[in-house]
Every structure is written in C-alpha cells, then in structure tokens.
C-alpha cells in the first residue's frame, strides 16, 4: 500500500520536462519549417495561390496540410482525433504532427531518465507528452480558432449579402469573402469555392465547411443556403437577418463572459490556494509534514482531497461556462 502512494518531488519534474520537450519541438518547427511569419500568413489559401496558379493543386495542398487526403477524406480511422486535428486549424500536416509528438515523447523519456533514472517514471512522462499534452493543445487551438471564426462570421455574411444584392450568384459571393477576409474564415470560404469549382454541389461544400470548423452558428447558415438552392427565395434578406441574430448572440456571449469573470477568478483562487499554501509551508518549514508525509492515511487523504477539488472545479466551470 505504501509503495502505491509514494510521493517524490521529482514527479514535478515530469510535467516540466514534458512541457519543455513539447515547447522545444514546437520551436524547432517554427524555426526551421514555418519560414513565413504569422504576420505574413494573413490568408493561407491566397499565399499558396501565389506559388501555385492551379487551383486544384491549391485545394489538394490545403487538404493535406489539415490532415486530410487529396480527396478530402480522413487519413486515419480515428474519427474524433481526425476531426480535432482538422478543426484545430494546424497546417503542418498529419505526418509532421506525429513527428512533433514523437520528438516530445523521446525528449521527455530521455530527460526523465537523465534526471531520475527510473524507466517506469520516464515511460509515464513519455505517455503524458504523447497522449495527454497533444490532446490538450489541440483542444485549445480548436477553441481559439472557433472563437476567431465566430467573430468574423457576421462580417462574412454581410459581404455575401451585398454581393447578392449586386446580382452575383452565391459561389461568387462566397469567393469575395475568401479574397477580402483573413484567416481562418478566408481560407475556409476559399476552400468552399474551390470545391464547387471542381465538381461539388453547393450544399456538400457548405456541409464540409461545417465539418472543418464546427461552430454553433454555421448550421443556420448552411441550412439557409441549402433551402434557397432547392426551393428559391430571397437569400439576401434571410442572411441579413441571420447576421443580426449572430451579432446579438455574440454580444450576449461577451456580456455573460464578463459577468462570469468574478466566478472564474474565485474558482481559480480557491483551487490554487491549498496547493500554494502547501508549497509555501513545505518550503519554509520542511519538517512540518515530515512526521506524517509517508503515512498511508495521509496519502489517501491527499488523493481524495484532490479528487474532491477536481469535482468542485468541474461544477464551477459548468456554472460559469454555458452555451447560448
């Protein structure tokens, strides 16, 4: 029982080593592979079109950069993982992503073996860097990209409405969005235009757009365009009303986020206070916990307290984060 809950301060090194290895791998990619700066990557599709005039080649390259095959299918049988990579917006391709993860795992394993010399702990650090950390990073990137897309979406609809009122068809209006707006929405709508150009119908191309982005507002837009394509109607007026609704929802989300900021700050302070106090006391008075630190009851109590704090954090997170 005592071996199960043995604690070693070196455990804290695992996380630091894993984060360091992942950061080093990402820095290596940004330094040697991503030659263009982020300021230059305003619209990835237009940048590729400057080098490749053939729009079909541009479409194939953009798909492969996002982890898809040349025909737009998933490359791996893991649907959820493929969808997470696709919606995160990573443009390094699936092969390079796997290479970065492998480098992070190898770095974490080697660093842990050097600092501690225990194969089991090194294996655990490698698994964390290879399974847990990439998932968290991809989730963060997807959330950030979806927020950026949602902020741009009303402006994109306004461009489409003005184009439709000027007499342009829907594909031309979508192409205007691809030329006028930066990423992420510029390249996504440009991909829609390229798919329509090379044989896909409008409804399929719009449905693929939703799969690539996954925001809550897109189904309304996709449905409106699909219904207009099959039954007709004043699409410009429908989209104008949709733009107003999306803007109101966006403002409401911002207002709720501001009102819930106090709750999020309280949750952060309450969660970090016990850990911070424990670290400070253990640093200032190392003998304070020395007499009970290696007791099984103490370790069980710490594990239960950690689990209880985790449940409380989940409850508080759900209280201050909800969708509209």
Domain boundaries, the chain: 260-324
Q: What confidence category does residue 192 fall into, taking pLDDT thresholds of 50, 70 and 90?
A: very high
pLDDT greater at residue 31 or residue 276:
276
Two structure tokens written together for 10: 């070196």
Q: List, for residues 261-276, the tens digit of each pLDDT value.
A: 777 787 788 788 888 8
Decide if pLDDT at 35 tops 50. Answer: no
> What is the C-alpha to C-alpha distance for residues 134 and 112, in angstroms, rounded to an integer?
19
Among 176, 174, 165, 171, residue whose Cα is nearest residue 234:
165
Two structure tokens written together for 45: 């599709």
Among 73, 69, 81, residue whose Cα is nearest residue 208:
73
pLDDT greater at residue 290 or residue 144:
144
pLDDT greater at residue 284 or residue 35:
284
Decide if pLDDT at 212 tops 70. Answer: yes
Question: Among 18-22, 82-86, 105-109, 188-192, whose mean pLDDT is lowest?
Answer: 18-22
Q: What confidence category does residue 11 fall into, taking pLDDT thresholds of 50, 70 and 90?
A: low
Decide if pLDDT at 63 tops 90. Answer: no
User: What is the structure's pLDDT at 36?
Assistant: 46
User: What is the structure's pLDDT at 84?
Assistant: 92
Q: Which residues contact 319 (CB under 8 A, 6 or more apart)?
A: 263
User: What is the structure's pLDDT at 24?
Assistant: 64
Decide if pLDDT at 7 tops 70. Answer: no
Mean pLDDT of the chain: 82
**Cβ count within 10 A of residue 97:** 17
- Let me know if 322 is exposed, middle or buried by CB neighbors in 10 A (0-12, 13-18, 19+): exposed
User: What is the structure's pLDDT at 230?
Assistant: 76
Percent above pLDDT 90 for the chain: 22
Mean pLDDT of all residues in 219-238: 85
Decide if pLDDT at 10 tops 70. Answer: no
> What is the C-alpha to C-alpha distance for residues 135 and 83, in angstroms, rounded to an integer?
12
User: What is the structure's pLDDT at 317?
Assistant: 75
């Amino acid at each position: 029982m005592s071996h199960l809950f043995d604690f070693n301060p070196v455990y804290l090194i695992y996380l630091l080593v894993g984060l360091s290895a992942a950061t080093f791998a990402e820095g290596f990619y940004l330094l040697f592979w991503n030659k263009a700066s982020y300021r230059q990557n305003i619209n990835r599709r237009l940048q590729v079109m400057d080098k490749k005039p053939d729009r079909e080649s541009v479409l194939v390259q953009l798909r492969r950069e996002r982890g898809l095959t040349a025909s737009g299918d998933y490359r791996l049988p893991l649907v959820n993982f493929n969808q997470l990579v696709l919606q995160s917006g990573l443009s390094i391709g699936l092969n390079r992503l796997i290479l970065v993860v492998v480098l992070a795992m190898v770095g974490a394993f080697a660093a842990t073996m050097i600092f501690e010399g225990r194969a089991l702990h090194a294996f655990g650090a490698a698994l964390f860097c290879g399974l847990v950390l990439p998932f968290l990073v991809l989730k963060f990137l997807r959330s950030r990209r979806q927020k950026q897309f949602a902020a741009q979406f009303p402006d994109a609809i306004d461009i489409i409405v003005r184009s439709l009122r000027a007499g342009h068809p829907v594909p031309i209006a979508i192409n205007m969005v691809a030329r006028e707006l930066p990423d992420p929405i510029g390249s996504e709508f440009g991909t829609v235009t390229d798919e329509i150009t090379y044989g896909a119908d409008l409804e399929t191309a719009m449905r693929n757009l939703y799969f690539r982005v996954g925001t809550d507002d897109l189904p309304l837009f996709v449905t409106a365009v699909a219904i207009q394509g099959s039954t007709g109607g004043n699409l410009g007026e429908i989209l104008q009303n949709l733009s107003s609704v999306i803007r109101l929802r966006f403002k409401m989300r911002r207002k709720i986020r501001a009102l819930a900021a106090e709750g999020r700050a309280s949750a952060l302070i309450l969660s970090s206070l016990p850990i911070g106090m424990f670290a400070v006391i253990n640093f200032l008075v190392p003998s304070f916990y020395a007499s009970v630190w290696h007791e099984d009851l103490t370790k069980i109590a710490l594990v239960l307290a950690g689990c209880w704090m985790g449940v409380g954090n989940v409850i508080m997170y759900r209280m201050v984060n909800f969708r509209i």
